Structure 1
Amino acid sequence: MADTSRRALRLLSLLMARRQWPLGELASRLGVSERTARRDIETLRGLDYPITTVRGPDGGYRLGSGHTLPPLLFDDDQALAVSVALQTAPSTVFGLAEDAARALDTLTQVMPARVRASMEALHLTRLQNYWEFPTPPVAPDALTAVGGAVRHRHVLTVQTLRADGTRALPGDGDFVPARRVEPHHLVVWAARWYLVAYDLAEEAWRIHRVDRLVPRPTTQPFTDRALPGGDVARFVMTSHDRGDVPTAWPCMGTARLDLPAHVVARWAPGGSVIQHLDADHCRLTLGAWSWAGVAGILSTFDTGITEVTPEELVGACHRLAERWSAATGPTA
């Protein structure tokens, strides 16, 4: 019985590793006859694993998708990866904390002792770091709607929320009509979910913050378009207009930087806003826990900085300049 169980687990591992297996190759890998391999396949089917038979000369067996969730098989590294993911995912998607905790509890109970020890060593305690740039979590239904539209290549109608998460109504001064977009990519960067889409009215590519969208799926299909530059990661990181709004901080300031907007966008903290001025200049709005913190972040861009506001930030820049001057000594 123990040999049969071990062999069934080995068979399941093989079926997970490749899309389709000929019966003879499965039997060879398991070191058994084809008849025994068939019996093991029936054993897994009895445990609700949806193993389908593919007919024809190139046929074999394939692990499909079922209507229920049967027991899963993870190796040690996969189990640790799932553990870490379950501990970190709730910070970016609203309402997952309880479900993720239950899933992690279930996973822990069925782990071998050696894997459980490694997982407990990686138990994460989330702390609000001084330099952590917070972001609001995404509603699961919005994420599902956007993700489904991207996967099925269906046009999406989106309404953008205000910075405080409320919806502007017709007649409001800041009301923006719903847009019809072709959703091409769903991207996670700096703990934020972004939708890269082609705006049908503007005939231009746009980036939207998913947590600021009210999406309404349609069944209208669209054809893939070529993204400018072809690299979605670079497109998101270097775009100064990502639908971001300034994150609320105790200290908020702005400055004009002698750098292009796409360069500042790549390195600015999450929750900052970059305004394109011309090919060589932009305006950066950002916040931190202290004015010295805002001034320190501005200095990391190593470029000319002007038009600094408010006065508190100007004062912090002067104080930092005096401290750095004292630290470096007189200039030769």
Structure 2
Amino acid sequence: MLETSARLLRLLSLLQAHREWSGADLAGRLGVSARTLRRDVDRLRELGYPVNASPGTGGGYQLGAGAELPPLLLDDDEAVAVAVGLRTAAGQGIDGIGETSVRALAKLEQVLPNRLRRRVGALNAVTVPMLRSTLPSSVDPAVLTELAHLCRDSERLRFEYRGHDGTTTRRSVEPHRLVCTERRWYLVAWDLDRDDWRTFRVDRVTPRPPHGPRFVPRDPPAEDLAAYVSQGVSTRAYATHALVRLLAPLEDALQHISPSAGVLEAESTDTCLLRCGAGSLDVMVIHVVMLGFDFEVLEPVELIEAIRRTRDRLDGALARAAQSPPRTADGAGRTPGTRNGSGAAS
């Protein structure tokens, strides 16, 4: 006869395998009496598993839905399927579930036997999801889960980081949280060499173990880390900053402006504010104009002058284009209604 703890796990596995079992069938599978089966069912209920029982000759036991999710038992194939699915979701940056997928994947991979870990790795190595081509950068899910473990366990991280200019530096940080946008992953960490909080793009991170030792977590740089990262990658990273009023409701702006393009906040029912950054005033003009919304510049005043200069250049270009005849690819002039610059009718 199985020991009680092992028998409970076996009973739970049987209940998850089929929708309903008769008491006689379950007792026979476990090799126990009906009385022992009832006690085991009561123990599962105490652990949070909602086991429903129906009396009578046609009755039996059924695992139902409860108020909270209890631990699940997965067989080998189910564990591999879940791990592959979570890796795919984590690597795609799917809005709303990417960060959750990484946390769940970290928990699952921690307990996967080596034989199943190899199966998961083999499947991911030969699988090419079409959605990945729509992303500007791909992130190895194995790196995500490694960083998730270190954040959870408060272990120091050592890695190589590739900067915007392609140069690589060695970094040592205290990782705090992973933040996922609809297109990229970021790591918020305390940089030990720079003695300050930093945000790192995960697709540029190459872990260099061994990691550790453990550390006492610091107070985070902000309560809302998503807003902190958004401000960092869209504003703080640039030399030129701007505050712009968009003549559109916040809900409309959120559908078209990503967190990496600026930080949005509501102002009224018909307007919202955008804080953003750029490498120069001229680039800022292009950035703001291409947002696709009517706007008012609140600051800096220099941006207003840059927009006027751009407007004047565009007006001049349009005026010259209206006065000049069209030209062929080799630069020869031609009059409208002719071809090859020879005057012959087309």
TM-score normalized by structure 1? 0.45
TM-score normalized by structure 2? 0.44
Q: Which has the larger radius of gyration?
A: 2
Higher relative contact order, chain-length normalized (CA < 8 Å, sep 6+): 1
